[in-house]
Structure 1
């Protein structure tokens, strides 16, 4: 599929020169830093040397004093407290952190994860009734609750208070809770607006520590959970999140908690340095699989376990769930692709809406993402659940999916989400009309360029610029993630050194050795799935490459390698 190469806006040359001189780095690196809003020496020191004393005072968050006061009251009165969280990675890590940490100081605790299929997302009446029957008078909700106005009011009538810890955008009305911690509240002045749900729970426990004069170092031992939540929930890795992610990764690499260590072992990831991408693709999906296939409670049990043999058994069970999830994912994705391929009308459309009643609800979000990648257009995947059509939607860069779904809101029982991802429910008989209107809205509002995948490029450089010092400093840009993505570069007019070749079991990858005019530098690269270009590469003509720069370790030797994202052949005769 053709890709758009979009080079970021130019940066002021004087500012580049000033920063380059101030911190003694290459001007290319200075440009990359300015793109990341690092513009002076102090910014650079904070960026390259994140420290735990850079964390904000938790009491800046609106209602934090009320939250701590209500928690202390519950502890002093011996009340039973329920820790309640969603079934995804952010929710289960949040519950694991708060439950495990509080358990060191107070034992009368319960935790609860709603059933994905029977209760759905967020606060459920089943959960509130469970708390009531268990004698709980306080529920701490994590990664959910800020929109549960009616249910929290009902809980209040049943004698149950809520401390809400959420990071989603509130509605027009806040719940009547003992405290409502959410940095996205309009009246909240907390500087970091993009904390994960687990991050909000961490700040709550930080405030609890400061009030009780407990050593915060004990709380820092739970930062591996925070890092897993930050990576898996795709929140920006900037500001306070960058500090939490950096120290969480350090904990994950040095001394992960028992449950995470067992996941690392079963995923065959021991003896390597973990990156945010490893959490996203290896650790997070295994934790998520429990809630998709069985129960999110299993994930919490694993994450709070301190028994090595028990954790190993639970991680094996969760790994089985993940394998089942992958099988369902592959099967459903192929079925969906076959439905599109069998219809010329569907292939020609600018959006995809598919419904099959027996698709597994736990994988339709993943399938929507895969179809969006395959056809690069807004996609809605629906299945049947409790007599209704329920589904997930995903968008493409720059297109507001939420508005497209909102335009069909009169056909929906409920919906929610944001610009790039959403969930929706409707009566099954409304699917044809929804499909027609959703397709019509996309047809009328999407721009032609939004239907072409975009590669955002940071800088245009020469191969000779990639020196060991350049790469050594570039490695310190980690941890990468939203708001601080791995830099992507273009180099123009490169040519095969004569030794590039096809590699891989099916010879569909290409191992490159490239040079450029006026330089003796030979740079190695790998292009996965790019074996189709071998004839043009070997022709001797110049071509352009777009890539990231990686460290390649092979047989104990370390070298710099280009990870090719795309190639263009504009100079072929």
Structure 2
């Protein structure tokens, strides 16, 4: 791993903030590195407020969207809420449909079948709307590239309101309204909302017409926080406020569906990381293994007993998903080994029987081993479908765009995308993708990087320091968990490999002239045991967290890497 210590901000800025906040130098440094340089900025960071949320009508077409929904309600029209089958899509549909049902009875939901219809707006979905008397479709987390489909719907007399956060193409669909902060002609102040966040802005706008504020919509924010965490969007600006208040709902009064999932694990307080690793995989598993409708049903259920039943079903889908992605990952790794190709800058694998619902997870697993921009293909109908995942710092969406001559359809983000192509174009595409990546990627990006916030000593780690550090949460892109380096550590003699298969490292570290000892745990770092044995000094990169054991809570180092 590459250790990159973030450049130290100007001393004057650190000293000024330290004085204004009455905090230590390390805390002030962490804040300045996050762009927080004044007392007021720090107050907004540590104490988010509903006033941090922008006026939803600053988003282009918001006035048109609310006017069309109000017209639909006054004309007693049927409204279809349509969303993608992943976490962002299903939480968005749950949010929008449950809110609209409080003001209008004629609301239904539609999630496309991952295997029959694929990602985004489908002709089948439009036909369903037309056949069943829906004159308005509101899309969430999809639709920004559905040019032909929106035009087709228009011919059928079905209107569209699009709520999306993906990058638009050269053309915007001719919908009644297109809400997407990434539109070049949209002046909305915050560009990094997830799909559920855009949906929240729409219900905020609708509620404001009735004299309600964003705070009156707090009960919907457990859904928004879940989507923010799962979709890996930056947790700064407006997203930070939405995630902050959403986590309060998750921990105090979550909707029955989310509570039923959380009750499956023994934990009392949940962070955004818990939402990502506990709630999100289960919601995702419905769309991957069965159908996204199951997730929407769970997330909109108001009866606690039924929610527990649905959550148990979804948990079973998640267990199936785990087994399937483990098997396919093993097959993909074997395929890469057998290819024994020359040094490549990309990983591209294909098997026609691989489960389409887990190829994105498999792509992420392959990156853990080979750390290259990765594509995993399977057969989907008469085409090949792939999930793309990238390494930190490399825009895989742009790379796919450069290969678009070989692709039928693609969409996504900088680090995750999906595409389809004709089977006969697979080899040509594979070579084109390799060529583009090899010519454009900085070779340093092919080695995993640990970004280190600061160099500290063990004596700096105090309960007071950790209490302040905890308030930096929720963590995520643009506000990652602080990583520190401490040099010249030694193990006190208790270092050992732990876990059922002895793959984890547990040690107790000390430092010369320090009276402090800390337990360190390194998951998957059992092979580093030789680095710390026989009292050899070493450096460690780590974050700080709490360990609870038999009622005792103590600070520990969560090791990220160690070096001689």
TM-score range, shorter chain: over 0.9
Q: Tell me the SS of whatever aligns to 2:527.
A: helix
**Pair 1:512 & 2:507 matched:** yes
The answer to whether structure 1 residue 477 and structure 2 residue 475 are counterparts is no
Cα distance in 2 between the residues matched to 1:393 and 1:535: 36
Equivalents in 2 of 1:507, 1:422: separation in Å? 35
Q: C-alpha separation between the residues in 2 aligned to 1:194 and 1:206? A: 17
1:349 aligned to 2:347? no
Give unpaired runs (5+ residues) of structure 1.
none
Q: What SS does structure 2 have at the residue aligned with 1:384?
A: strand
Shift of 1:386: 0.9
Give me the whole-angstrom Cα distance separating, in 2, the residues matched to 1:530 and 1:476: 28
Which of residues 113, 118, 121 in structure 1 aligns to 2:116?
Answer: 118
* Structure 2 gap ranges (5+): none
Worse-superposed segment, 87-96 or 422-431: 422-431
**Within the alignment, does 1:384 sit opposite 2:379 as a pair?**
yes
Q: What is aligned with 1:133?
A: 131
Match of 2:329 among 317, 321, 333: 333
Cα distance in 2, alignment partners of residues 274 and 409 from structure 1: 42
Check whether the contact 2:167–2:413 (CA below 8 A) recurs between aligned residues: no
- Could you tell me which of 393, 397, 402 is aligned with 2:397? 402
- State whether residues 221 and 246 of structure 2, in contact with CA within 8 Å, keep that contact through their aligned partners in structure 1: yes
CA distance in 1: counterparts of 2:139 and 2:42, whole angstroms: 37
Over the aligned positions, Cα root-mean-square deviation in angstroms equals: 1.6
2:233 alignment partner, SS class: coil
Q: Secondary structure at 1:212's aligned position in 2? A: coil
Alignment of 1:519-558 (within 5 A): 519-558=514-553
SS of 1:538 mapped into structure 2: helix
State the secondary structure of the residue aligned to 1:221.
helix
Contact 1:81–1:139, Cα closer than 8 Å, also in 2: yes
Change (3 A) 1:357 1:132: same
1:442 is matched with which residue: 425, 437, 440?
Answer: 437
Q: Which residue of 2 aligns with 1:99?
A: 97
**1:5-60 CA distance string (max 9 Å, x none):** 01112210111010011001111111100111111000000000011122111111
1:404-447 CA-to-partner distances (Å, cap 9, x unmatched) read: 33343222222233432222222212222222333333334433
Alignment of 1:251-400 (within 5 A): 251-266=249-264, 268-269=265-266, 271-345=267-341, 348-400=343-395
1:342-400 CA-partner distances (Å, limit 9, x unpaired): 23226x43321111100011111111111011111121111111111111122222233
Taking the aligned partners of 1:78 and 1:547, their CA distance within structure 2 comes to: 58
State how many pairs are aligned: 564
For the structure 1 residues 370 and 12, does the alpha-carbon distance in structure 2 shift closer, same or farther, using more than 3 Å as the test?
A: same
Select between 396-405 and 114-123 the one with higher mean Cα deviation: 396-405
Shift in Å, 1:330: 0.4
| Deviation >6 Å, runs of 4+ | none
Per the normalisation by structure 1, the TM-score is 0.95
Distance in 2, matches of 1:134 and 1:499, equals 68
1:101–1:219 CA contact under 8 A, matched in 2 = no
| Higher mean C-alpha displacement, 302-311 vs 244-253 | 302-311
Q: Provide the C-alpha distance between the structure 2 equivalents of 1:468 and 1:189, rounded to a whole number of angstroms.
A: 43
> 1:474: how far off?
0.6
Q: CA deviation at 1:75?
A: 0.7
1:211–1:552: structure 2 CA closer, same or farther, 3 Å change rule? same
Cα distance in 1, alignment partners of residues 530 and 214 from structure 2: 60
Number of the residue aligned with 1:44 = 42
- Residues 170 and 430 of structure 1: is their aligned pair in 2 closer, same or farther, counting only changes over 3 Å? closer
More displaced 10-residue stretch of structure 1: 165-174 or 543-552 = 165-174
1:202 and 2:200 are equivalent in the alignment: yes
- In 1, the alpha carbon distance for the partners of 2:403 and 2:147 equals 25
Q: How far apart, CA to CA, are the structure 2 residues paired with 1:428 and 1:486? A: 42
Tell me, yes or no, if the aligned pair for 2:544 and 2:557 is still in contact at 8 Å.
yes
What's the counterpart of residue 78 of structure 1?
76
Deviation at 1:215, TM superposition (A): 6.1
Deviation at residue 218 of structure 1 after TM alignment? 4.2
Residue 104 to residue 401, structure 1, CA distance change in 2 (3 Å): closer
8 Å CA contact retained: 2:5, 2:451: yes
